[in-house]
Chain A
Amino acid sequence: MSVFSHLRERARALFGRDRMEHDLDDEMRFHIERDVEERVRQGTDPVTARRAAVMAVGGVEQQKERVRDARGVGVLENLGADLRFALRALRRDPIFSVAAALVLALGIGAASAVYGIADAVLFASLPYPEPDRIVRVYQKYSNDNMFGLSMVDVMAIAEQQHSFSAFGVMRPGSGSVSAANATPEQRGIGRATSGFFTVLGVTPAAGRLLQPSDETPGAPQVMVLTHAQAVRWFGAPERAVGQAVQVDAVPYTVVGVLPPNVTNLAGWSPAMWAAMPLTPPQRRGPFGIRAFGRLKDGVTMESATRDLGSISERIFPIWKSSFRDSTSRLTPVDLRQAILGAESPRQVGLLAAGVFLVLLVAVANVAMLMLVRISAREPELAVRTALGASRWRLGRLLAGESIVLGAVAAVLGFALAVLILRLAPSFMPTLPRISNVSANARVAVAAAGAGLVSAVVAMISPMLSVLGRPVTSIVADRRVGAGKRTDRMRSVLVATEFGLALPLLFGAGLLFNSFVRLQRVNPGFNPDGTVAVSIGLPLARYQDPAAGLRFWRELESRVRSAAAFSTAGVSSNLPPTDAQDINNFDLKDKPVPPGGNEHLPPWMGASNGYFEALAIPLIEGRLFTPSDTGGNFPVAIVSQSWAKKYYPEGGAVGKQFISGGCTTCPLMTVIGVVGDVKYMGLGSSSDAVYEPLTQYLPSSANLVARVRGSTPSAGSFKALREIVGSMDPQIALVETTLRDEVDRSLDDPRRFATILGSFAFTTVLLASVGIFGLMAYTVRTRRREIGVRMALGAQPGSVVGMIVARGMRYAIAGSVIGIGIALLGGRWLRGFLFGVGSTDPATLALVTITLLTAATLACWFAARRAARIHPVEAIAGN
Chain B
Amino acid sequence: MAESSGELLQGTLEMLVLKALSLEPMHGWGIGHRIEQMARGAFVVPQGSLYPALQRLINKGWIRSDWRTSENNRRARYYLITRAGTRQLQVETADWERASKAVNAILRVATAEGL
Contacts and interface: CB of A to CB of B under 8 A. Distances in A.
Interface stretch (B4-12, B73-81, B89-97, B101-109): B73-81
A67 B77 CA distance: 14
Interface string B35-61: 000000000000110011101101111
A9 B59 contact: yes
A40 to B, nearest CB: 12
B74 A30 contact: yes
A620 B16 CA distance: 117
A25 to B, nearest CB: 11
Contacts, number: 78
A878 interface: no
B112 to A, nearest CB: 41
B52 A70 contact: yes
B80 to A, nearest CB: 12
Given A58-B47, A67-B51, A1 B84 contact: yes
A63 B77 contact: no
A37 interface: yes
Interface string B61-79: 1101001001010111100
Interface residues of B, number: 27
A66 B51 contact: yes
A26 B77 contact: yes
Given A2-B84, A67-B52, A71-B55, A30 B75 contact: yes
A6 B48 contact: no
Interface string A1-34: 1111110011000000000000100111011011
Nearest to A57: B47
Contacts of A72: 59
A56 interface: yes
B61 to A, nearest CB: 4
Contacts of B33: 38
B28 interface: yes
A35 interface: yes
Contact of A31 (B28, B52, B84): B28
B72 A70 contact: no
B52 A30 contact: no
A723 B67 CA distance: 101
Contact of A6 (B47, B59, B70): B59
B29 A30 contact: yes
B48 A57 contact: yes
A380 interface: no
Contacts of B64: 5
Interface residues of A, number: 30
Interface in A25-71: 26-28, 30-31, 33-35, 37-38, 56-58, 62-63, 66-67, 69-71
B48 A66 contact: yes
Contacts of A27: 28, 51, 76-77
B72 A63 contact: no
A31 B48 contact: no
A3 B27 CA distance: 24
Given A2-B60, A5-B61, A6-B60, A37 B48 contact: no
A34 B77 contact: no
Contact of B76 (A30, A57, A69): A30
Given A27-B51, A66-B51, A34 B72 contact: yes
B44 to A, nearest CB: 9
Q: Select the residue from B29, B30, B53 with max chain A CB neighbours within 10 A.
A: B29
B55 to A, nearest CB: 4
Contacts of B29: 30-31, 34-35, 38
A186 to B, nearest CB: 80
Contacts of A5: 58, 61, 64, 82
Nearest to A58: B48
Contacts of B70: 30, 34
Interface string A66-94: 11011110000000000000000000000
Nearest to A35: B29
Q: Select the residue from B51, B64, B84 with max chain A CB neighbours within 10 A.
A: B51
A491 to B, nearest CB: 45
Contacts of A23: 67, 77
Contacts of B72: 34, 37
A35 B47 CA distance: 11
A85 to B, nearest CB: 23
Contacts of B76: 27, 30, 34
Interface in A333-366: none
B60 A63 contact: no
Contacts of B74: 30, 33
Contacts of A70: 51-53, 55-56, 59
B61 A63 contact: no
A63 B84 contact: no
A2 B52 contact: no
Contacts of B67: 23
Q: Select the residue from B30, B60, B61 with max chain A CB neighbours within 10 A.
A: B61
A563 to B, nearest CB: 99
Contacts of A3: 61
Nearest to A2: B61
A69 B52 contact: yes
Contacts of A66: 48, 51-52
Please list the 10 inter-chain residue pairs (A to B) with the smallest Cβ-Cβ separation, ordered nearest first.
A2-B61, A70-B55, A58-B48, A70-B52, A5-B61, A34-B29, A66-B52, A57-B47, A27-B77, A56-B47
Interface of B: 27-30, 33, 47-48, 51-53, 55-56, 58-62, 64, 67, 70, 72, 74-77, 82, 84
Given A70-B56, A72-B59, 13 more contacts: A4-B61, A10-B59, A30-B27, A30-B29, A30-B70, A31-B29, A34-B27, A57-B47, A57-B48, A58-B47, A66-B48, A67-B55, A69-B52
5 contacts: A6-B59, A27-B76, A28-B51, A33-B74, A66-B51
